[in-house]
Amino acid sequence: MAYPKEKFLLKFSVALLLILSLFFVACGNDDDVDFEEEVVEEVDDTDFIAADWTTETHSNDADPNFDEVFEDNAVKRLDIVITPTRWQSMLDDMTSLYGTFGTRSGGSFSDDNPIFVPAEVFYEGTEWYRVGVRFKGNSSLQSTWQSGNLKLSFKLDFDEFEDDYPQIKNQRFYGFKKLSLKNNYDDKSMLREKVAADVFKNAGLASSHTAFYTVYVDHGDGPTYFGLYTLVEEVDDTLIDTQFDDNDGNLYQPDGDGASFAAGTFSESVFVKDTNEDDADWSDIQSLFTILHDDTRTSDPAAWRANLEAVFDTDVFLKYLATNTVIQNWDTYGRMTHNYFLYNNPDNNLLTWIPWDNNEALQDGKMQGSLELDFSDLSAAEWPLIGYLYADETYKAKYDAYMKEVVDGAFNATTMQTIYTNYAALIESYATTEISGHTFLNSSSEFQTAVNQLKSHATQRASAVSAYLR
């Protein structure tokens, strides 16, 4: 067990003594006493000492420790301990959002996030206290729940409940306030989320750090292995703090029709702010809409490019676009109106593209599938950030150059074979020992089959890019 047995037994003993004392008091009292009501009144979980707290591990005075939390060549363990009552409240809330567990009732995913509850998190024998824990995801959360699979993604917020528990004010996990535990939904290799993020990072783009973790959840019956997860750095927590020189800009997480940037679709509700939420100003996004659809795009392309580059980091977007299209990722801009961030970088006042949520990458994909390298299967009017830029000769030349740069570097086919081999060897024993009801694997052999498919995919994409650039 990763969290200290002695600490657990101590807490259990204290609680048991308290209950027994209340029982004897109740038995010796002539008045009628509601025992359960008395216990609820007397047991107060706000009365605790954060004994494991150190500046390095728990304080917001510590810089984010990426080497500790996001170690590439390791599989680490997190234990989440939730009281039975709070766990049941999480399940009841999921039932209200998505219906009975294990029952496919159809419909779209809920607009409401699942509830947070306080829980204890243990890592390497150290405890983090009253951490906010909730289930996370959209369609993947709905699908996993309705299929009867409890390997659900989690979001951790280490000071979510600081108003209720002053002892955890500004609590951090080695400098991180928020973290996502992705369940590697529909990915039998369990590598896509991590490898795609690595490729974006190696291409020189702002991208979340990731790492492999086994997750155990104790909701009353001891720790249960929930499976191998990918820990993902949150964009609105440390990414903009550490990968940009200034974190005061507007950060948007678009979701909805207007996130396509099609003409006339702008809506403030679509461009959700993760920073500066109280500032009712979307002029930076509105300017991008206006310039993108200006008539100078066809009448004076040079002027259009100059105006566009005054509000939008076209170089970053074209590099992202080349990388994303080479590796293939259908569940993002160009097919879906979500899974990206825009950050108005104060250094240059340009909206900058940040990729997000990569578990569906590195494959041809579902629905209509991933986009063709030349975007021949894309409606430019529906997805103008791609269609209009690719139609411009100057931007197309940059896109083509970035594409070659990606296949020669960050997604080099030979290099990828080694990466897949090494990561697969690292995680195989954890992936193939997931338990029934907490896994997407039907058999252990499916893991290696999926890894082999990723290796073949890398080779195929190199050939496709070579043919495109010829």
Going from N- to C-terminal start, the domains of the chain cover 70-183+207-242, 245-408
Identify the pLDDT of residue 388.
Answer: 98
Largest CA distance in the chain: 93
- Segment 445-450 shows an average pLDDT of 98
Q: How far is CA 90 from CA 115, 125, 150, 223, 456, in A?
A: 7, 26, 12, 17, 41
Task: At 197, list the tokens.
Answer: 């993020």
CA–CA separation, 451 and 447 (whole Å):
6
Sequence-distant (≥ 6) Cβ neighbours of residue 292 within 8 angstroms: 261, 308, 312, 384, 385, 388
Identify the pLDDT of residue 106.
Answer: 57
CA–CA separation, 455 and 448 (whole Å):
11
Q: pLDDT tens-digit profile of 146-202?
A: 999 999 999 999 999 999 999 999 999 999 999 999 999 999 999 999 999 999 999
Global pTM exceeds 0.85: yes
Is residue 118 within 8 A of residue 102, CB to CB? The reply is no
Sequence-distant (≥ 6) Cβ neighbours of residue 266 within 8 angstroms: 258, 282, 285, 286, 289
The order of strands in the sheet holding 350-355 is 271-273, 251-254, 340-345, 350-355
Task: Please tell me the number of Cα atoms within 13 Å of 400 on its side-chain side.
Answer: 14
- Segment 419-423 shows an average pLDDT of 98
